[in-house]
Amino acid sequence: MAALRVAVCEDQEEERERLLAMLAACSVENVPTAFASGEELLAEYRPDQFDLLLMDIYMGDMTGIETVERVRQMGESVPVAFLTTSADYTWESRRLSALMYLEKPVKWEKLEETLKLARMKLDNRPTLVVYQGGEVENLPLEDILFLEQQGRQVCIVTRNSGTTTIYGKLSDLLPQLEGAPFFQTHKSYCVHLAQVVKVDEALRCFVMAGGKNVPIRRLLMGKAKRAWVDFLFAQTRGER
């Protein structure tokens, strides 16, 4: 089992070192990377780089909330635990689907619990099972931007700019997506609502994280918009 990749974003050096020391003592194997600001983390951030963000809220010019908003705009659903001295940002942390809300000084037991939850979330994340080259491949649903039928093939486009192409029908894959936030915009397209940035009504498409457009059938435009808005509200309420 691979170690949990943890980003520690804390502007106070003493607190940052304290967190790193506690992480080293946790029973959940982890590999931490420290950042002194949100700007520093974003400058180095790459899709699927971390399994958990430990994010201080009150930092310099860019707050932890603003930093995570930028991460979410990339289509990243990486678990986040906010670190703070007050409960002023409880609603914002729920809106950003925070895993935990840890009050400073962070206690070792709470940090250990957070790592266990992140490990469980990583191990139990749902996947799309496909067959490619005679072998089974499991694609994490959270990484998928959209699926597109192209002739006798289905292209599964992921947020790291990769594409998995298999022979088959989109309709045969849809049952695996039931219960997950996916919406079929057209007979040839199915999008991951968590990866949608906006709806472009003029072009009749969803604009996805990364900038790609996915067409929406004209008769489905209203239903597509409602599905996305409903998803966003559910996310705000902590249901997604």
For residue range 29-81, list pLDDT tens digits in order. Answer: 999 999 999 999 999 998 889 999 999 999 988 999 999 989 988 777 889 99
Read off the pLDDT band of 172 (50, 70, 90).
very high
Residue range 193-198: mean pLDDT, rounded? 94
Short-list 188, 125, 135, 187, CA closest to 166: 135
Cβ count near 157 (within 10 Å) = 23
Average pLDDT, the chain: 90
Q: What was the pLDDT predicted at 238?
A: 56
Q: What was the pLDDT predicted at 91?
A: 52
Paired sense of beta strands 52-56 and 205-208, if any: unpaired
Q: What was the pLDDT predicted at 100?
A: 85
C-alpha distance from residue 220 to each of 76, 206, 217 (Å) = 27, 12, 5
> Would you say the C-alpha torsion 13, 97, 127, 212 has a positive or negative sign?
negative
Residue range 4-13: mean pLDDT, rounded? 96
Q: What was the pLDDT predicted at 240?
A: 55
According to CATH, the topology of domain 127-236 is OB fold (Dihydrolipoamide Acetyltransferase, E2P) (2.40.50)
Three-state DSSP at 127 gives: strand
Q: What was the pLDDT predicted at 239?
A: 56
Domain ranges, ordered by start, for the chain: 4-123, 127-236
pLDDT tens-place string over residues 124-163 = 889 999 998 888 999 999 899 999 999 999 999 998 768 9
Q: Is the pLDDT of residue 106 over 90?
A: yes
Amino acid symbol at 17: E
CATH number of 4-123: 3.40.50.2300
Whole-model pTM? 0.70
Short-list 202, 236, 234, CA closest to 221: 202
Q: Is the pLDDT of residue 218 over 70?
A: yes
